[in-house]
Structure 1
Amino acid sequence: MDDFVRNTLLEWGLSDWVEKFKDEQINAESLYYLDDREIDILIPKAGPRVIFKNNLKLLKEHEEAAGLVQEEQNSNQEPIVFFQLEQEHEEAADVGQVLPSTSSKGKRKSDLQAESLKCFPAAKRRCDSDTRILSEVKRIMKQIKDQINDKEELGAFIKNKISDLEINKRELVGVFGRTGAGKSSLINAIIDEKNLLPTGSISACTSVVIKVEANTRSLKYEAEIEFIKEEEWHDELWSLKTYKKGDDDYRDMVKKLSALYGDEWKDKSPENLIEPKYFKNIPEFLASKRKSLNCDTAQELSQKLRIYTKGGPKQEDGSKAQQWFWPLVKSVTVRVPHNELLQHVTLVDLPGNGDRNKSRNEMWKQIVVDCSTVWIVAEITRAASEVEAWEILKSAHGLIGNGGQCQQIHFICTKSDPADDRVPNNKEAKEEVMNEFQELSEQFSDKGFKVFTVSADEFLKRKRVKEDDNEIPKLQDFLQNLNDCHSETINYVNGAYGILSLIEGARCSKAGVGKADDVCKVLEKNMREELDQVKSAVDEAIKDFEQCLTEGVKNSKTSEERLKFFLDRDKQPSFFKTLQAVVRKDGIHKTKKGEHINLNTVLASCLTDSIDEKFRKTFPNDVKGGSFNGVISRFSLDTNSLIQKYQDVKLQLIFLQTEEDKIKTKLNKIILKGKKIIYNSLTEAIEKNMKKCYEDARKISGNGALKKMRKTIETHVSLNRNMYEDAKKTMLEKMNELMMIICKELKETMDHSIKLSLKASALSESLPDVSEHLETVQQHYNEDLLHTVTAET
């Protein structure tokens, strides 16, 4: 091994692999000719391997652009640092500089640079640079962590702080749409994996949640299949006895049974159908384990997944039908290797609504409330009139709006083909969708609503079309920005800078005990004052909500009128079956026509309507907007002014500054999670009160059953009007609980950090010298700060 290879690996943050390259005698010349198979052997771990391949590719391209690739490399040559070359290229491009000389291929260096820069958009180059910086700083912090003795209080504190830096943030994008709207094809096209998710004429299962994310562990295409519990399937088998032939629920259950058992289920009891012989091909189901699939290609994985995610075709030749296991599947997680768009993003192909199976339904609800973006997919030919697409939005508004964390809703019109006369003009289709959305303006802000027109088939065929005709590249850009590798780098570098400042400050502290005590007293005073501000803001918000909810309780008649409007459908021929399905599923049902019925949200609407506008302002889904009127964002111990006055503990105060940033980020996440619980508590309280009513109603049968069911529901509501007051009380209690959690977390975290950091000199005898590392990380910190300020201005 020569110095070039060693230094290059160190520069890329791959010091752990230096010995391996040395053992295999990799030199500067052979480095450039390594193929994928050889790299896989040299670096078996996926994460470091991806970093190596990406950096090697960039190194080759940039050296070629600079005319530096030679057939023989000097064994003592220093490694080319990519971000320095990148800076030179950008400077040359900014001033229109023409560099002298030409490459061996006869092109001017400036021409090659221009070509190279076309391949590296600014966001991509920035992300590559961030990845390198992040890798370097992580390597430094791992080295420091290994040197610290955690048997001492300060050492254990520092090690925990380093561990806390490793937080992998993932953004969820929920993809909704009617069967056949093109969801799977859309996802395949966007992540450029034509054969990944199964598509085609096979009817889609309505229950399975499919998550698609990056595989950071291997180069394989992988799938992890999670099943429902055995007892849950047993309950579903028994439920068939409660359904009436011809009902939607009965037909859906028959589809499940036929998929799994063929015709055998017709003369078997639920006990017979749970026998192990029916599950010999999926022993994981009975063992309550997850099933894993590993394939070399996307197409191979797609074929294997079909029986777990799709309904099977009917057998017309009399042969025994294949078993289809989707009725037993709760969710499928698909992992794709080498996909930058999925680095910190998970795409979730979601059924249009929940499921009668409790665990599947709970998973569906949890995913929906955690989605930061929602994609509604509909065919362009009927996008504005697609009943199910709009019903999804209307029914889920409480979960993706105030009851969730959705910041953006994208309506995606699929199967757009400008050459097809039957397809509406893209511009006209967008206008129609926007007009339809205006009717939902009370439930959603149009700030984050956008419409896209796409054709997955055209994109995958690589047909050259205008971007306005096929906006899949715009959706890819959106995902690239959602990954936000720069944000991850900033957070890690800032935290590392603070920790290294604490170590160096504790090791070299010149402050005496008295001076440290003085600073502690000032910080504790500032802490008390800031906590009072937080409490005051939350108290004010609680009072405002109490006033709104009191008005909502008074308006409970509006909810009951909406309930009566629903129950007055008794003249519709199929209403009795619909009402039976509603009470059987505790007030929630989705009809075959795509209508979403939820009597609990109808009854809670008097309360949710009263607080919706106030709630959006108090708890914006965009955390940058500032929860509780921005009081968390404004929280500050005023360390900047203290640094000017107490230079001897400057480094410790820098640490406390970074701790402030971290705790505010953490609190915003706590608030985001808490506000979902608070908002949804209103409907949940109503649902809990109505449970006995639904149980009584589903026992009714015989002559006049519809009339009796209506009377049971109406009587229960009229005799239990205290449920609105109970729901109000529950919500206010949960707001108080959130305030207590916020104040406790803020006080305990910062108090502990203040005391340990300013009394650290007495505990710092065994701390390592990190002065050089601090200088390196501080440089990255300053660069990130400058970049952030520049971006904001």
Structure 2
Amino acid sequence: MAKAKIKAVYGEIGLTQTYDELQRSAVDIPNTHKKTVTSYSACDLSSQISGYIRSDTESQQYWPLVKKVTVYVPGSSVLLDRIVLVDLPGAGDANKCRDQMWKEYLGKCSSVWIVNDITRAISDKTAMEIQNTTIRNVAGGGECHNITYICTKSDNIDPHHLKRQYNLTDEELGITISNDKKVKNKCILFRNNKVKELVKKNFNEKVKKKLLGTDVNSTEFFKVFTVSSADFWNNEEKKEHILDRDETELPALKEHIKDLYVSHSQKAVKDYVSQVSGIVSFLHIPKENTSTQTEDLKDKLFSELKQKFETRLQDLAKFFDGVYTKMTNNLDEGVKNAEKQCLINALKVLKPKKTKYSGYHKTLKALCRCSGYYRSRDGKIVDLNYALVLPMYAAMDNSFVSCFRLNQNSRSSIKGAFDLLQNDLIIIDKRKHAAVELRLTYIKTELRILIADLETEVIARKKNIYNSITQSVQDTMDPAYKDGAVITGSELVTRIQSRLEEHVESYKLSMFREAKKRVMFQFKQLKDYVIHTLKKEMGMSMKLALTQFPTDVTFPDVEDELKKMKGICKALELDVFQD
């Protein structure tokens, strides 16, 4: 990687020069860390940015120095609005900065697509490791609502080999008139179904355990597509093809992303409409006639709402306390198992079986330099920190996932507790004065907005809570990593292994307990933040909504807008206004 960076700045000759010679080189080094390229042609843009994203070009290659490339396509009718596609570094990219970006973006993505050659999808060990790591990082992120597994190059097949592999006859493939094109078509479709079955079998349980909880059906969450872009374009361009357009599965994949887009857009639209409805309702309040009876009703209503809200907050606090107790018990068991298994798990990383030790010292040195986590150039991941805390994650994953599952409502989830708070707090009585109804509508919409903001905060904190176990162990192990990074000389591998083993043995009785302590402290901080924010913000909203406006206060006339918003809410089946 160091050589690639030198070549990117100084060219091939830079590899033969000393540090002083490089300093004297007449190289134009930009003053800014950003470069903007604009083009009206996709082909021209591809050519201009080629050196920043590809390693197989003859032109100057800057990619070793590039953290990310962002492409904006304004005013395009073929791209969905507000959709951001992130192409993360693949298995062959061992750049530390881009590897960190890989983890960061996985935590932000609402949908994750794993793309792999169909021949590697179910058999390649490195590909499986990357996929397992992807699921693990998504679990720590929190925003993912869908994982899509895409097997490419489905048209790349040897029919004779496949038929021998599965001992298939033409009759079993459903072939009545045998010709090369028909046989290949049926073989492709047969393999596609086989691959889908195997991928789903391999990943459904992992997805449920890490992301959904064992009580949830993962069918809709996890999708598998087997695609052929070559045959798709052959169909589009009226060229000879083996698969029909729909059999390439690219049309189905396009519909899949549209469905994801619609799902997220609907939520965004409903949140926006709810907010506008609340504002319009509030502006319309002073127009309603006030009376002594109405004022008395407001005072009584405020007292009732305040008492009811405090009761619901206590219920929410009890929910968090229940989760806290359950996670504590799970982690106590996880800590015991981690203490028992830590040396065994450490040795699986430090002394793996069937490893060629001739170059293994480089892996160990890299592991120490990178604080216990190393991703090799071929995509292989070595993570000592995670290996040590694996029993803790195994013990807490199910309760943790159930609690932080924000894409589905359940009694064991924070979302379920939030929904219960919203649904049970405000029930508008038709018999009450219209002015009071509008005030309650405003309170309801303010609560909805606040809950949406809190869910975003919960997602952000979930990542820190989940990853704090690994981070805590990494902090404890860091002195040993620093020592291992500077070890040189004879028997280097043995000395590094011994130093790390000794450190694990010395700190095993405190390391995992400290990790548990950090997790529970951060979870308690989340609970305190949620309760405090709800109490403070909704207290202000209720006071504002139920305050007495002076007679000389006038707001814009929004009667037409109020009618319009009621119609929109009805069309969206959004429970904001009382019918």
Provide the C-alpha distance between the structure 1 equivalents of 2:533 and 2:551, rounded to a whole number of angstroms. Answer: 25
Residues 506-545 of structure 1 aligned to structure 2 (within 5 Å): 506-512=286-292, 513-545=295-327
Structure 1 residue 438: Cα displacement = 5.8
Provide the C-alpha distance between the structure 1 equivalents of 2:407 and 2:494, rounded to a whole number of angstroms. Answer: 47
Q: Does 1:256 align with 2:22?
A: no
Structure 1 residue 779: Cα displacement = 1.4
Q: Does 1:311 align with 2:85?
A: no
Q: Does 1:470 align with 2:470?
A: no
Structure 1 residue 279: Cα displacement = 3.6
Provide the C-alpha distance between the structure 2 equivalents of 1:469 and 1:787, rounded to a whole number of angstroms. Answer: 42
Structure 1 residue 334: Cα displacement = 0.9
Deviations 1:355-396 (A, max 9, x none): 776654443221011122221111123321133321112223
Q: Which moved more, 1:612-621 or 1:483-492?
A: 483-492
Where does residue 172 of structure 2 map in the other structure? none
Residues 566-605 of structure 1 aligned to structure 2 (within 5 Å): 566-569=349-352, 572-573=356-357, 574-605=359-390
Deviations 1:536-592 (A, max 9, x none): 100111111111111111111223311112222386333222212211221111234
Q: 1:374 aligns with which of 92, 101, 112?
A: 112
Q: Does 1:682 align with 2:479?
A: no
Q: Which amino acid aligns with 1:630?
A: G
Structure 1 residue 340: Cα displacement = 5.5
Report if the CA contact (8 A) 1:259-1:324 is conserved: yes
Identical amino acids, percent of aligned pairs: 29
Structure possessing the higher relative contact order (Cα contacts under 8 Å, 6 or more residues apart): 2
Provide the C-alpha distance between the structure 2 equivalents of 1:764 and 1:595, rounded to a whole number of angstroms. Answer: 72
Provide the C-alpha distance between the structure 1 equivalents of 2:311 and 2:92, rounded to a whole number of angstroms. Answer: 46
Where does residue 334 of structure 1 map in the other structure? 71
Provide the C-alpha distance between the structure 2 equivalents of 1:769 and 1:439, rounded to a whole number of angstroms. Answer: 57
Q: 2:40 aligns with which of 296, 313, 317?
A: 296
Q: Which amino acid aligns with 2:125?
A: V
Provide the C-alpha distance between the structure 2 equivalents of 1:268 and 1:540, rounded to a whole number of angstroms. Answer: 65
Q: Which moved more, 1:618-627 or 1:746-755?
A: 618-627
Q: Does 1:266 align with 2:15?
A: yes
Provide the C-alpha distance between the structure 1 equivalents of 2:493 and 2:515, rounded to a whole number of angstroms. Answer: 29
Provide the C-alpha distance between the structure 2 equivalents of 1:274 and 1:394, rounded to a whole number of angstroms. Answer: 44
Q: 1:393 aligns with which of 131, 150, 172?
A: 131
Provide the C-alpha distance between the structure 1 equivalents of 2:535 and 2:63, rounded to a whole number of angstroms. Answer: 49
Q: Which amino acid aligns with 1:686?
A: V
Report if the CA contact (8 A) 1:632-1:664 is conserved: yes
Secondary structure of 1:569 counterpart: coil
Q: 1:498 aligns with which of 278, 281, 286?
A: 278
Provide the C-alpha distance between the structure 1 equivalents of 2:229 and 2:464, rounded to a whole number of angstroms. Answer: 37
Q: Per the alignment, do residues 273 and 640 of structure 1 end up closer, same or farther by CA in structure 2, a change over 3 Å counting?
A: farther
Where does residue 202 of structure 1 map in the other structure? none
Q: Which amino acid aligns with 1:742?
A: V
Q: Per the alignment, do residues 725 and 704 of structure 1 end up closer, same or farther by CA in structure 2, a change over 3 Å counting?
A: same
Structure 1 residue 468: Cα displacement = 5.2
Q: Per the alignment, do residues 307 and 463 of structure 1 end up closer, same or farther by CA in structure 2, a change over 3 Å counting?
A: same
Q: 1:630 aligns with which of 416, 441, 446?
A: 416
Q: Which amino acid aligns with 2:462?
A: K
Provide the C-alpha distance between the structure 1 equivalents of 2:414 and 2:251, rounded to a whole number of angstroms. Answer: 37
Report if the CA contact (8 A) 1:582-1:597 is conserved: yes
Report if the CA contact (8 A) 1:619-1:675 is conserved: yes
Provide the C-alpha distance between the structure 1 equivalents of 2:7 and 2:350, rounded to a whole number of angstroms. Answer: 34
Q: 2:344 aligns with which of 554, 557, 561?
A: 561
Q: Per the alignment, do residues 743 and 704 of structure 1 end up closer, same or farther by CA in structure 2, a change over 3 Å counting?
A: same
Which structure has greater strand proportion? 1
Q: Which moved more, 1:631-640 or 1:652-661?
A: 631-640
Secondary structure of 1:413 counterpart: strand
Structure 1 residue 623: Cα displacement = 4.8
Secondary structure of 1:335 counterpart: coil
Provide the C-alpha distance between the structure 2 equivalents of 1:730 and 1:602, rounded to a whole number of angstroms. Answer: 18
Q: Per the alignment, do residues 731 and 459 of structure 1 end up closer, same or farther by CA in structure 2, a change over 3 Å counting?
A: same
RMSD value over aligned CA atoms?
2.8
Secondary structure of 1:294 counterpart: coil
Where does residue 287 of structure 1 map in the other structure? 32
Q: 1:324 aligns with which of 61, 66, 78?
A: 61
Provide the C-alpha distance between the structure 2 equivalents of 1:558 and 1:279, rounded to a whole number of angstroms. Answer: 54
Structure 1 residue 530: Cα displacement = 1.0
Secondary structure of 1:640 counterpart: coil
Q: Does 1:547 align with 2:306?
A: no
Report if the CA contact (8 A) 1:506-1:757 is conserved: no
Provide the C-alpha distance between the structure 2 equivalents of 1:505 and 1:270, rounded to a whole number of angstroms. Answer: 74
Where does residue 656 of structure 1 map in the other structure? 443
Report if the CA contact (8 A) 2:227-2:250 is conserved: yes
Aligned residues: 525
Provide the C-alpha distance between the structure 2 equivalents of 1:377 and 1:763, rounded to a whole number of angstroms. Answer: 65
Q: Does 1:486 align with 2:227?
A: no
Secondary structure of 1:412 counterpart: strand
Structure 1 residue 463: Cα displacement = 5.4
Q: Which amino acid aligns with 1:736?
A: K
Report if the CA contact (8 A) 1:377-1:389 is conserved: no
Provide the C-alpha distance between the structure 2 equivalents of 1:630 and 1:333, rounded to a whole number of angstroms. Answer: 37
Q: 1:449 aligns with which of 195, 216, 222?
A: 222
Deviations 1:608-637 (A, max 9, x none): 111011111111152545733711110036
Provide the C-alpha distance between the structure 2 equivalents of 1:541 and 1:356, rounded to a whole number of angstroms. Answer: 39
Provide the C-alpha distance between the structure 2 equivalents of 1:271 and 1:632, rounded to a whole number of angstroms. Answer: 63
Report if the CA contact (8 A) 2:210-2:401 is conserved: no
Report if the CA contact (8 A) 2:468-2:518 is conserved: yes
Where does residue 142 of structure 1 map in the other structure? none
Provide the C-alpha distance between the structure 2 equivalents of 1:535 and 1:632, rounded to a whole number of angstroms. Answer: 11
Q: Per the alignment, do residues 612 and 764 of structure 1 end up closer, same or farther by CA in structure 2, a change over 3 Å counting?
A: farther
Q: Does 1:725 align with 2:474?
A: no
Where does residue 398 of structure 2 map in the other structure? 613
Provide the C-alpha distance between the structure 2 equivalents of 1:434 and 1:357, rounded to a whole number of angstroms. Answer: 31
Provide the C-alpha distance between the structure 2 equivalents of 1:683 and 1:354, rounded to a whole number of angstroms. Answer: 25
If the length of structure 1 is used for normalisation, what is the TM-score? 0.62
Provide the C-alpha distance between the structure 2 equivalents of 1:355 and 1:592, rounded to a whole number of angstroms. Answer: 6
Q: 2:503 aligns with which of 693, 709, 716?
A: 716
Structure 1 residue 511: Cα displacement = 4.9
Provide the C-alpha distance between the structure 2 equivalents of 1:515 and 1:439, rounded to a whole number of angstroms. Answer: 55
Provide the C-alpha distance between the structure 1 equivalents of 2:325 and 2:28, rounded to a whole number of angstroms. Answer: 56
Structure 1 residue 642: Cα displacement = 5.0
Q: Which amino acid aligns with 1:429?
A: V
Deviations 1:194-222 (A, max 9, x none): xxxxxxxxxxxxxxxxxxxxxxxxxxxxx
Q: Which moved more, 1:601-610 or 1:464-473?
A: 464-473
Provide the C-alpha distance between the structure 2 equivalents of 1:515 and 1:732, rounded to a whole number of angstroms. Answer: 44
Secondary structure of 2:325 counterpart: helix
Secondary structure of 1:409 counterpart: strand
Report if the CA contact (8 A) 1:453-1:470 is conserved: yes
Q: Does 1:770 align with 2:558?
A: yes
Runs of 5+ in structure 2 lacking a partner? 162-186, 213-217
Provide the C-alpha distance between the structure 2 equivalents of 1:688 and 1:675, rounded to a whole number of angstroms. Answer: 20
Provide the C-alpha distance between the structure 2 equivalents of 1:582 and 1:310, rounded to a whole number of angstroms. Answer: 27
Q: Which amino acid aligns with 1:669?
A: T
